[in-house]
Amino acid sequence: MAKRDRLSGNEAISYAIKQVNPDVMPAFPITPSTEIPQYVANYIANGEMDTDFIPVESEHSSMSATIGASAAGARALTATSSCGLALMWEELYVAASNRLPLALCLVNRALSGPININCDHSDSMGARDTGFIQIYAENNQEVYDNFVQAYRISEHRDVMLPIMICQDGFITSHAVENIELLEDGDVKNFVGEYEPENFLLNADQPMALGPYAVSNYYMETKMAQNIAMNNAKKVILEVGKEFGAMSGRSYGFFEAYRLEDADYAMVIIGSAAGTAKDAVDVLRKQGVKAGILKLRVFRPFPDEEIAAALKNCKAVAIMDRSEGFRGKGGPLGAEVKAALFDHAADVRAFNLIYGLGGRDFTVEEAECVYKELEAYDKEGKAFREYRYVGLRGEGYVEEKKPETVGTTNMSSIDYTSKQN
């Protein structure tokens, strides 16, 4: 039976790690992921799990040690954030190209500079092409559930790729929510034991790992990774369905919230989806057919499925919590637009940037995005694409009456977008 508890996102994923009880966890602390190795180390010290914890001198070393443990045949993981992920950049490619099914618990945080310790998705989006599977969570329940499913996905014989379980720094990692935890035995039975086919410590089959690949072989290794990533799509759906049968919470590539008959949709990742859902509920009461596609799986990218889900919408806003520096929006916008084009979905899609460095994304701002989509559709008003939602002096601007300067008077805020 499930048991209810109140945990932060970091506590929730640490509890899932305890239940899975992997073999090895090397880690180096960095805000806001520091609590994860801290909690795991406490579980080990208290005799609640027998994972070998390895304190290392840097994030580069933590991923190197995780790679070594995984190559030796152990079930291994680490945790990091932001600049820690950047420091292990080289090793991310090594893990993926060596087809090691290790896990990385990433607590999303803005990359420097300037220095910022709050949430955006610049770290994981920068690593989107390293060969890692990437799964994101809206809330603490999903963080827990996603990790319980992680090894079942990455260790599948048709996949054998590292997996990145992402959550929003401080917003979910440190905020406490009510969640349902599975029984230890149920998690253990669901995840199963790791029985690698090939590993360095197998005396009966000596092997080398990480060889030099000349031009005649390098492309074939990349195609093998690509095939494995495509195979992961089927496995993710199968594991999500099986997890649902056990827990009552099924998972797919994305959540379609009130999207079936939606005229106007928002595509969004992570915790801000909860804010957008509140806006959708408000607008539905006003007769506006608004909906949400909350993307859970970014790698492998479910392009065909996204296009099918959005094909009947009249206008779509794609919300990026990461800057792409391509002059036209962020990475999510680029990929969703490509999906719509490739699969001939006749949907007008616009890309907006929000929430960089932890900037708040409000219900009122989300409502404004939907109303602009409606104005574009019904009144032919221009929708100015690629702007920063909530940027001072641009986009959705707080305009205060003289007598309210220095205070926040919600009745005086104009959330209409200023046009050039």
∠ CA(268), CA(390), CA(352), 5° rounding?
40
Mean of all residue pLDDT scores within the chain: 93
Name the least confident of 6-10, 130-134, 212-216, 412-416. 412-416
CA 328 to chain centre: 22
CATH class of 254-412: alpha beta
Domain boundaries, the chain: 3-247, 254-412
Average pLDDT over residues 407-416: 38
> pTM for the full model?
0.93
Domains 3-247 and 254-412 fall in the same CATH topology: yes
Predicted confidence band of residue 394 (pLDDT cuts 50, 70, 90): low
Q: How far is CA 204 from CA 74, 198, 294, in A?
A: 17, 10, 47
Domain 3-247 has CATH 3.40.50.970: yes
pLDDT at residue 274, as a whole number? 98
Per-residue pLDDT reduced to its tens digit, 226-264: 999 999 999 999 999 999 999 999 999 999 999 999 999
What is the SS3 assignment for 209-246? Answer: CCCCCCHHHHHHHHHHHHHHHHHHHHHHHHHHHHHHHH
**Would you say residue 416 has pLDDT above 50?**
no
Closest CA to 164 of 80, 256, 276: 80
Listed in sequence order, the residues at least 6 apart from 12 whose beta carbon sits closer than 8 Å to its beta carbon are: 140, 141, 143, 144, 179
